[in-house]
Each structure stands twice: as structure tokens, then as C-alpha cells.
């Protein structure tokens, strides 16, 4: 029983709110204008069903095109993610190899510097 009253009061509140908003002249004129336009459109399409079918077909085609484009984009992104997943181990290996090469080079540079230092100390 409480649910019925709640729904009733919501509907009543909406109706009272709508009626109160119509006290404003510009709101009232706007509602009347939009209502006239809506009824005119309904009347036009009820008399011209072919135009309505064409308009619906155009909207359908537009959304199908958007869906196809989105599907293509999603497929492309998935493909690129898969490529990155495949490249990740290769890149990791390359980074490890590069690090090892730098460590080895560092050791070689130290050895060269130590030899030069010892040679210079031996000359003095």
C-alpha cells in the first residue's frame, strides 16, 4: 500500500512542478512552440510514411557505419596490442643485452684507465 502512495505522490509532484513552471511566460511559449512542432512532425510523417521510412533507413545506415568503424578501430588496436605483447620479450632481451654490453665496456674502460695510470706512475 505504501508503494502505491509513493508513486502517486511522485506523479503528483511532477505534474505540480510542470504546472508551476508554466506560470513563466517564456517557458509556456517554449512548451507551446515545441508541442506545435512535434504535432506538425507527427502529422507530416503519418501522411508521408515513405519519408519516415527513408529517414529511419538513413539513421540505421549511419549507425551501422559508426559500428563498422568502431569495430575496425577496435580490431586495429587489438592487433597493435598483440604486436606489443610479442615485442615485449624481444625488447626486454635487447635491454638486458645492452646493459650487459655497457657493464662489460665499463670494466674494459676501468682496465684501460688503470693501465694508463700505472704506466704514467711508472714513468714518473
Q: What angle do CA 23, 27, 31 make, to 5 degrees?
A: 110
* Length reported for the chain: 124
- Give the pLDDT score at 45: 92
Instruction: Give the sign of the dihedral formed by CA 94, CA 96, CA 98, CA 104.
Output: negative
Q: How do residues 3-37 score in pLDDT, each as one tens digit?
A: 678 889 999 999 999 889 889 999 999 999 999 99
DSSP state of 124: -
Domain extent listing, the chain: 1-47
Bigger pLDDT: 96 vs 16: 16
Cα–Cα distance measured from residue 88 to residue 86, given in angstroms and rounded to the nearest whole number: 6
Rg (CA), the chain: 38
Amino acid at each position: 500500500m505504501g508503494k502505491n502512495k509513493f508513486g502517486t505522490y511522485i506523479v503528483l509532484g511532477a505534474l505540480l512542478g510542470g504546472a508551476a513552471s508554466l506560470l513563466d511566460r517564456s517557458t509556456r511559449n517554449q512548451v507551446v512552440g515545441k508541442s506545435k512542432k512535434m504535432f506538425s512532425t507527427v502529422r507530416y510523417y503519418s501522411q508521408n510514411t515513405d519519408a519516415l521510412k527513408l529517414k529511419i533507413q538513413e539513421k540505421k545506415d549511419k549507425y551501422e557505419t559508426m559500428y563498422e568503424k568502431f569495430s575496425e578501430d577496435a580490431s586495429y588496436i587489438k592487433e597493435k596490442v598483440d604486436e606489443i605483447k610479442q615485442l615485449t620479450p624481444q625488447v626486454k632481451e635487447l635491454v638486458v643485452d645492452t646493459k650487459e654490453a655497457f657493464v662489460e665496456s665499463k670494466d674494459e674502460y676501468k682496465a684501460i684507465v688503470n693501465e694508463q695510470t700505472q704506466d704514467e706512475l711508472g714513468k714518473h
